């Protein structure tokens, strides 16, 4: 089943409680955390995740675009994240392993993320131990970017790895997902779609979510 995860990066931050209610028909809520170092933008942090947890019982899919993320696993787990995903480029392999082990200790689901420049093969040392792999189809850091079609072959390659090594692992795609690109990433093998402006920029967010699901 395809899951849709609207990104609150595209929401109106002046009234996040209302913005969350707009997307209650979605499966997950995607939360982009940026530190101004791993990516040039700064977004939100632990207090906002904690507030979102109070505002909804939706599954909180928290995407950490931060350097050395192991430092913050406990804080975001405490804040109520259901899944934490860390960029393979954000630390050396021992640091990524430590972050995943910290997620294990805290009982949150574990994800890894690849920037467009990172090859599909980079997931292989981790694939048996994670619950989700996220492929970025834009450069991380800002919403509203154009979908990078050259990432479709990477999505397909990772789907093959998942089928072989960890069939229960989810394959998420984030970046430029809209009614035109959603069928392409689903065909390539994705089963979780992050969508920001395609949902929050729509007149009817609930209808937009149904369209992205292919309903």
- Is 190 within 8 Å of 172 (Cβ atoms)? yes
The residue annotated as part of the active site, out of 27, 91, 174, 178, is 174
3-class DSSP state of 168: coil
3-class DSSP state of 149: helix
Instruction: State yes or no: is 78 an active-site residue.
Output: no
Residue 167's CB: how many other CB atoms inside 10 A? 7
The residue annotated as part of the active site, out of 27, 32, 61, 178, is 32
Instruction: State yes or no: is 174 an active-site residue.
Output: yes
Maximum alpha-carbon separation in the chain: 45
Give the separation between CA 177 and CA 29, rounded to whole angstroms.
15
Give the separation between CA 105 and CA 128, rounded to whole angstroms.
17
Catalytic residues: 32, 174
């Amino acid at each position: 089943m395809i899951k849709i995860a609207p990104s609150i990066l595209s929401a109106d931050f002046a009234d996040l409680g209302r913005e969350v209610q707009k997307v209650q028909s979605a499966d997950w809520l995607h939360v982009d955390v940026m530190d101004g170092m791993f990516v040039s933008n700064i977004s939100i942090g632990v207090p906002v995740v904690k507030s979102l947890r109070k505002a909804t019982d939706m599954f909180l899919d928290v995407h950490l675009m931060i350097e050395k993320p192991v430092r913050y696993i406990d804080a975001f787990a405490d804040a109520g994240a259901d899944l934490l995903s860390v960029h393979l480029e954000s630390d050396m392999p021992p640091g990524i392993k430590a972050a995943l082990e910290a997620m294990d200790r805290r009982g949150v689901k574990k994800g890894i993320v690849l920037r467009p420049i990172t090859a599909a093969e980079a997931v292989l040392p981790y694939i048996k131990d994670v619950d989700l792999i996220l492929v970025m189809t834009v450069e991380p850091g800002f919403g509203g970017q154009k979908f990078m079609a050259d990432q479709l072959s990477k999505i397909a390659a990772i789907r093959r790895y998942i089928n072989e090594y960890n069939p229960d692992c989810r394959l998420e795609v984030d970046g430029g997902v809209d009614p035109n690109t959603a069928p392409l990433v689903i065909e390539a093998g994705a089963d979780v779609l992050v969508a920001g402006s395609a949902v929050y920029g729509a007149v009817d967010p609930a209808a937009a979510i149904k369209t992205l699901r292919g309903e």
